[in-house]
Structure 1
Amino acid sequence: MDWKRGAYPEFKIEDAIAVLFLLKTPKGRKQISEELNLGEGTVRTLLKKLSSIGLVESQQKGHSLSEKGVEIIQEISKLFSEPLEVTPLEGFVTYALVVRNPPEFKSIELRDEAIRFFAKGAMILTVQNGEIVFPEDGRPLRETLPELSEDLKKLPVENGDLVIVTWAENKADALKSLIHVALSLKGELLPEEIKKLVE
């Protein structure tokens, strides 16, 4: 039996954050389980933990964020934006988000982090003079990938921001690898309640 799906309801901080973003609209346990590729037992445990610290409420129509949950998501959104599904790259499910005020980084290390977390690939971009560009040479993304560039305009970007794009075989891996890269840059600044979830 695959232990991940079995008796040990294990989840990572990436799962917890993905669930909080998903619950901006009410969802049932089965839907969360399918979208994040987690066992239902794991989702039950995670939701129980999130509601025990007052972030999630459960009603007949499913689970949703409490007022405190909404506040926590707003705090997280000051660090990095909500993941956005964008045009598929290389035929894979693709997501993007913005990391605000990024610390110093090496693109190659961030790409490696994404791939270690089951992404098929990742792209690290920066915003300069209102334009999303490749940090290595300042080349505008729109010159190589106009469709993706158009999609990324939906993100709340400002000069100096970092834009991370990851793609994977399924939604769960694309989403969680993306959040993982954002956390590798901003993890220490997460609200304490979220950090404690996985201690």
Structure 2
Amino acid sequence: MSMLKSVLEQFGASLRPLERSGVTIGHIILLLLALDEMKTAGRRVLCQVLSLGEGTTRTVLGKLSALGVVQVSRAGARLSEQGKRLVSAIKSRISRPILLRAGEKLTLKKVNAALLIRGVQAESISVLEVRDDVIRFGGRGAVLLVKRETDLYIPPGNTRVSERYPSLYYELEKRLQPEDGDIILIGMGEESISVMVAILNAAVDILLESGSSE
């Protein structure tokens, strides 16, 4: 975790000049996870992945290339060996966000995205602060779920998701496969990419600020 924390903090410092363009560390992680899945991608495709302009995306790729995590050629962008190691470290703590099909009854919003966070003590997380974090980064709200033994619970009242929202429970279990102690962060909003970026930013803040359970 210390290596990942150090790299995330380094990214945060490197991205400060891009903040005026709306680029956050959530965009960077979304890009890295996309390259991990696609292997090689052109700039236009990555513009769509990030919902950023072509000029901003070019600048982001230049920053990542300078940091040694992405290689850019005429064929497109791909992860370097260092980038692959970084993505492996990220995926050991944060899953790639997924768009939910069964989240509307819980969130009352049509666009809902979720990701899994591993290795963090649920007791160290403030639900209200996480919700505010998601809103600050462009979402409209958030819900935290905690996996305990065979069910998912909504703190602080510990509502059982399998009983209250069975369709959502089965979707999350199938697609994210949480284990005991894992946390699921669900964000809601009006546009899919902005919601995914928002929950990635909030997940990074959780990792940087909360105590690790490992």
- Identity of paired residues, percent? 29
| Equivalent of residue 65 in structure 1, options 79, 83, 93 | 79
Look up the equivalent residue of 2:29 and give its one-letter code: I
Q: Is the 1:56–1:65 Cα contact (8 Å) retained in structure 2? A: yes
| Equivalent of residue 98 in structure 2, options 59, 75, 84 | 84
1:168, distance to aligned residue in structure 2 (A): 1.7
Report the counterpart of residue 194 of structure 1 in structure 2: none
2:30 aligned with 1:18? yes
**Structure 1 or 2: more helix by fraction:** 2
Report the counterpart of residue 202 of structure 2 in structure 1: 181
- Structure 2 gaps of 5+ residues are 1-19
Distance 1:169 1:61, change over 3 A: farther
| Equivalent of residue 93 in structure 1, options 111, 120, 130 | 111
Report the counterpart of residue 133 of structure 2 in structure 1: 113
1:9, distance to aligned residue in structure 2 (A): 5.1
| Equivalent of residue 155 in structure 1, options 176, 188, 193 | 176
Q: Is the 1:36–1:171 Cα contact (8 Å) retained in structure 2? A: no
**Counterpart of 1:23 in 2: which secondary structure?**
helix
TM normalised by structure 2 equals: 0.76
Q: Which string of whole-angstrom CA distances, capped at 9 and with x for unpartnered residues, describes residues 82-117 of structure 1?
A: 212221533532211111122401212211111121
Larger displacement relative to structure 2 (40-49 or 80-89): 80-89
Q: 1: distance between equivalents of 2:127 and 2:60?
A: 32
Q: 2: distance between equivalents of 1:45 and 1:60?
A: 16
Distance 1:10 1:94, change over 3 A: closer
**Counterpart of 1:79 in 2: which secondary structure?**
coil
Q: Is the 1:35–1:171 Cα contact (8 Å) retained in structure 2? A: no
Q: Is the 1:9–1:39 Cα contact (8 Å) retained in structure 2? A: no
Equivalent pairs, count: 182
Look up the equivalent residue of 2:67 and give its one-letter code: I
1:54, distance to aligned residue in structure 2 (A): 2.4
Distance 1:120 1:54, change over 3 A: same
